[in-house]
Structure 1
């Protein structure tokens, strides 16, 4: 019953507030930001903080459905408000620029008429997404018989962005196909979440919003600190329970090499995952991983875009733990690119082999060369840029002025 009422409310907003939003005059200097699941994360977070610190001429406001997130930002001197508050609605109606990391619903689809829509997205990578998906649940959403109905129920999933952040030539072509937009709409610049080291004020701002010092308090007692970051499985299966069936055995292997391992579940499956073993910790759900990404001595991942973030921003080795490869590409998500040719790291296909690798004090070796690592990183992220945030903001401002 509750779900039906929400759908009715959404339909009412679609035929009332959304058309009205096209009529409200918008301010060119007012930019609103948001993130998926009402979080304060990802590329939109970092661009919001950078603009707040370096571009005082732009009125940057964070929009969220979580009062705690809004309160955190307000207490740290930033502008923020909740989505359905009077202030949140008014600012969303008046803002000329919408910047988000997933869909317009990160901010508010129903107030977005006439605004410049800038999608910074949340990961490059191998996977097919949106219209390019041909396997799993998303294929039914975009290509199934009820797809026209979904356009009414989930309009934000089908709204095309005016600009899309795609860091390389290959990614621009890929995302243009996925979202059915022109490649010319793609901005080829690095992700804001990887730019923090270039900007001292941004680094200070990011550090102030999380207890990173407390997290790292005892890292010195370990010889190696690793993190396991699996991607989401569209069929609902858990990469944690399936890929790590015996945490006690894993912890024993880690003790042999004096390694501390963080397990970072995908945000969708984070609840309910716990561990009290000496060499294994669950990454704090509310804490952004990216400020420490380059500090991890080892990354363990699978088909996640975090692989390319790590290759771009860090120097440590990588374990590619692809224990469910065949199941993943057949039941969850098809891959847009050849897996073998577009990854870098040591392949591990079962739990026993993973434990064996992590028990070795000598570290992780791979046949892939460092030169190949650089080739893969630039294939997905392009060559390094000296002033990425300035260029990104200038591109958005130019598009707003010409819209």
Structure 2
């Protein structure tokens, strides 16, 4: 507990210091200029090659030679894997990573500017790609008001620096305007780049993942019915996703229908495979890419996770297991009435959950019309969402200059970067 508290205090201090330096760099960058054709990408505080930033980065790298996309990360293995495949990537704190972050015209992230280097991003166009459709409260509507005053001021500052926020549908614009306390004009409904991977292979999507896990899922899906369980992480709970399941009864049900339940926990939660008594329940590593797994699932099981809205694009059954609905609603809260945006059976107990699963495995699907209604409200159904995001980001940037505003300073920075 003491170590967790120290980490929190350190994170808060770095955020505040990073914002102060960001303000300074934003003014100094006017001297050396930023390159509108250089874009840097990052995700999940620099810890992963993942989510919307991953898929937009791969799209830009493969289809837009006018842009120089660079991935920045704290994960040295991800940087190495990207380089081995011919992509440009650097450790976020390396001299080259710092230089490119200082020169980039655009910074594209999924969680915040600390996905790359916060202070180096001052003066760049900041594009928040985010990482889900907001069913539950986030940011200022969730935990930010409880933070210390300097931290609240820092969060407010980083949100004010956002030039563009991408969301899945027009219904999300007022939600994110509230969550980020920004002008709705800076929010655009483009859809999420990660959802393009639901319909066609994305070159490079396999980089940075354990491909043996995905090959196993592919083999299971080819021969059996596969259910995918993607529950929400709970800040206040020490239990895992499997603790709320009757595993012996569930294993027997899956056995009778020749089905498998794949369980992927939140990145902040690990599941011990040895704690699973049934071979029909398969824990997946938290680092597995959910958006490469979704197309293999015959049905999805979740609770309050926004991945449900991604899966609706595939128009397959969804089961909701909301065993702690009142508690979660009181502690976190929702932007919408939960019962109005859950197009599938909502189980509140383990027996009800098992009955819902059995009906799905038997082929019952009475919720197709409900899925269509919710999909129309929350999902961007046009093809090529990655290109829509690219075009929205490109419109933010001025034409590329023939040379930096201050060639001598830019030259010194170039030598530093090298």
**Distance across 1 between alignment mates of 2:196 and 2:16:** 40
Q: Which moved more, 1:390-399 or 1:114-123?
A: 390-399
Paired residue total: 387
**Structure 2 match to 1:189:** 190
User: Partner of 1:29: helix, strand, or coil?
Assistant: strand
Q: Which moved more, 1:86-95 or 1:278-287?
A: 278-287
Instruction: Classify 1:218/1:6 alpha carbon distance in 2 versus 1 (closer, same or farther; 3 Å).
Output: closer
**Structure 1 match to 2:169:** 168
**Structure 1 match to 2:339:** 340
Instruction: Classify 1:279/1:396 alpha carbon distance in 2 versus 1 (closer, same or farther; 3 Å).
Output: same
Residue 5 of structure 1 and its aligned partner are, at CA, apart by 6.7
**Structure 2 match to 1:64:** 73
Is contact 1:256–1:360 with CA below 8 Å preserved after alignment? no
User: Partner of 1:170: helix, strand, or coil?
Assistant: helix
Aligned ranges 1:119-198 → 2 under 5 Å = 119-133=128-142, 138=143, 142-144=144-146, 147-151=148-152, 158-196=159-197
Q: Which moved more, 1:95-104 or 1:202-211?
A: 202-211
Unmatched 5+ residue regions in structure 2? 401-418
Unmatched 5+ residue regions in structure 1? none
Q: TM-score, normalised by structure 2?
A: 0.84
**Structure 2 match to 1:380:** 378
Residue 18 of structure 1 and its aligned partner are, at CA, apart by 5.3
Residue 158 of structure 1 and its aligned partner are, at CA, apart by 4.7
**Structure 2 match to 1:391:** 388
**Structure 2 match to 1:311:** 312
Residue 319 of structure 1 and its aligned partner are, at CA, apart by 0.7
Residue 362 of structure 1 and its aligned partner are, at CA, apart by 4.7
Residue 45 of structure 1 and its aligned partner are, at CA, apart by 0.5
| Deviations 1:25-47, CA, capped at 9 Å, x for gaps | 21111100000141111111000
**Structure 1 match to 2:321:** 321
| Deviations 1:12-71, CA, capped at 9 Å, x for gaps | 555457513541321111100000141111111000000011112111011111111111
Aligned ranges 1:74-85 → 2 under 5 Å = 74-85=83-94
**Distance across 2 between alignment mates of 1:335 and 1:366:** 26
**Structure 2 match to 1:116:** 125
Instruction: Classify 1:6/1:189 alpha carbon distance in 2 versus 1 (closer, same or farther; 3 Å).
Output: closer
Moved over 4 A (4+): 1-18, 152-160, 207-210, 271-274, 359-362
**Distance across 2 between alignment mates of 1:361 and 1:175:** 34
Residue 72 of structure 1 and its aligned partner are, at CA, apart by 1.4
Residue 221 of structure 1 and its aligned partner are, at CA, apart by 3.7
Is contact 1:160–1:179 with CA below 8 Å preserved after alignment? no
Relative contact order (C-alpha < 8 Å, sep 6+): which is higher?
Answer: 2
Q: TM-score, normalised by structure 1?
A: 0.87
